[in-house]
Amino acid sequence: MSAYAPPLRDLRFVLDELLAVPALLQRCGRGELDADTIDQVLEGAGRFAAEVIAPLNAGGDRQGCSMPRPGEVRTPDGFPDAYRSFVDAGWTGLGCSTDFGGQALPLAIGSAVNEMLSGANMAWAAYPGMSHAAYLCIEANGSDAQKALYLPRIASGDWAGTMCLTEPHCGTDLGLLRTRALAAADGSYRITGSKIFISGGEQDLTGNIVHLVLARLEDAPPGVKGISLFVVPKRLPDAEGQPGARNPVHCSGIEQKMGIHGNATCTLDFDAATGWLLGQPNQGLAAMFVMMNHARVAVGVNAVGLMEAARQKSLAYAREREQGRAAVRIGGAADPIIAHADVRRMLLTQKAWVEGARALALWATTLIDSQHLDPDAAERHRAGQLLAIATPVVKAFCSDLAVESIGLAMQCFGGHGYIRDNGVEQHLRDARIIPLYEGTNGVQAMDLLDRKVIADGGRGLDVLLGCIDDWVASQAQVPALREFCLPLSALAAELRAVTAAVLAESETDPQAIGAAAAPYLRLVGHLLLAWMWARMAALSIDRIARDGGEPIHAAKLATARFYVERLLPEVQARCAEIRAGAASLTALPAELF
C-alpha cells in the first residue's frame, strides 16, 4: 500500500497561480498572509496528514468505533493521541476568529488543509471538521454570551460540536421532525426526541460536545416554519464554564455502516435535556443552513482528498506492475501497465477529475472569503450570487466524481484493488457517503435548478455565464487557447438554451424540473470544470512561452486537452437527456416498476 503524499505543488498552483489567493487577501486587508506564509501552513498540515493520521487510516477502518459500556464510545487506537497532537499544534483554531483564540485564516487556506486531512484519513478528519461547522453556526446565530461560552472552547479543540437534524421517520424532510422543546422557568428548554446519523455524536476525544439540535417549540406552526435551533451540551457548563453535570443526552447506538468506520456515527436520545435557543424562535432551519452550506462545500473538498489518495495508489501500482505487452514496448518480458492505452485512459481521467475538482472546490471557498472579507460591497454581492450556484455543484458533482474516480483507481489494480491490503477499496467505501451527506445529490440538483436558477429568475446563473463570457473574450487574441475556449463558449450557450427550455416546459408540466435536475447539475458541473481547465491551460501556455515553465505546466496543458477531448463530450448526452423531458419518467405506473 503506497503512503499518502500531500499534493503540495498542485495546491500551490491552484491557490497561488490560478486563484491568486495572496492577491485576494491583500485586497481584503490580509496582506500578512503572503504566498510564503500560506506555504508554511500547507507544509505543516501536509506533514501532520502524512505522518500522524494517514498511518492510522487502515487500522482505524478495521477496528472501527466501539461501545465498551452503554452510551460510551471509544474511537480506534491512536485517534485520541492524534487529536491531542492536532489540538496542541493549534490546528483546530485555524479558521476561527482571533476574538475567540483562533488564527482567522481564510477558508481557502483551511479548505486546502481539510483536503489533505481527508485524503489521509477521512474518518479522523470528520471530527474537527464537524466541530468547525458548529463553530460557524454559533458565531453566526448565537448571543454574545453564547459566543463567549462556546466559541473559545471549540476553537481550542477542548470541546467538539455536532449537527443534529434528521430523525428516523423523516430523512431529508425536516418539516416532519418531532423533537420537542418545552420552555423552563429559567429561560432554558427541555429537549426530548431522537436524532440519527450524528457524526461524532459521542467520542473520547474531547471533554465536552456541543450538540446543535433542531426541535419544535410548544406553539410552533407545522412544517419547516415551526423549527427552532437549540444548543444542547453533553455536559452542562458550570459557573466557570467548565464541563459540569451530565445532560440527559445518550448515545443509544453506533451506526453499522459501509465506510468511515473510525468516525462514530451515532443515534442520540434527548430525554428532557437542557438546551438554549440559538437564534430566533421558528427560524432554526435558516440558522442551521449556515452550517449546512459550509458543510456542503467542505464535503466536496473531502471528496477531492479521497480521490487524490486513491489516484496516488493507482498511479504507483501502474508504474510498478508489469503485465502484458504494450503496443509500444517499454519493458522486458512484460510492460508496466501504465504503457497500456486503457490504463492511461483511467489514470488521466482520475487526474482530470481530481485536479479539476480541486480547482473548482477551492474557487468556491474563495467566493466565501470574498463574500465576508472583500471591502467592495458589489464584489461581496457578486461572490454571493456565484456561491449560490457553486455550492450544490461542488457538493454533488465533486462527490459523484469521487465515486467514479476511485472506481477507476480500483480498476487499475484489477483484482488486487478489491482486497483490503492495497487500500483503494476503503477509499471507495469511505467516499460513498459523500453523495448522501448534507442532502443527497438529488436534493442538491433540485436546489440548483429549482431554487438557485428558476426561483432566482436566472440572475445568479447570468452572473456566472457573464464571468465566463468575459474571460473567454479576454483570451480571444491567444490562438493556442481556441481549443479550450470554443467548447467552453459552446457549452455556455447550450446551458442558456436548455435552461430556457426547462423553464418553458415547467409551465405546463410539474415534473419537468425534477426530471431535468440531475443532468442539469452535471451540465453546470462540466461548465465550471471546463472553465477551470481552460484557465489552467491559459496559465500554463503563458508560463511555458515566457520561460519554459515547470513540469506541472506541461502536465496541466496535456491534462486540459485530455479533459476537453475525452471527458467534456459527455455534455452532449446530458443536454439530450434534459431536452427529452419528463414523459419517459412518468409514463410507467408505480405498480409496474
Give the active site residues.
438
Q: Which three cell numbers mark 178?
A: 418531532
Strand partners, 217: 181
Nearby residues of 480 by Cβ (< 8 Å), 6 or more positions away: 541
User: How many other C-beta atoms are found inside a 10 Å radius of the C-beta of residue 508?
Assistant: 7
8 A C-beta contact, residue 229 and residue 278: yes
Reference 411, options 345, 456, 358; nearest CA is 345
Whole-number Å distance between alpha carbons of 87 and 82: 9
Neighbours of 51 (CB within 10 A): 12
Instruction: Name residue, grid cell 505522518.
Output: 51
Closest by CA position to 157, among listed 198, 199, 127, 126 = 127
Element (H, E) at 59: helix 57-63
Closest C-alpha among 527, 522, 521, 526 to residue 467: 527
Distance (Å, whole) CA 401 – CA 399: 5
Separation CA 291–CA 279 (nearest Å): 13
What cell does 138 get? 454559533
Question: Measuring CA to CA, which residue among 531, 562, 560, 538 is closest to residue 478?
Answer: 538
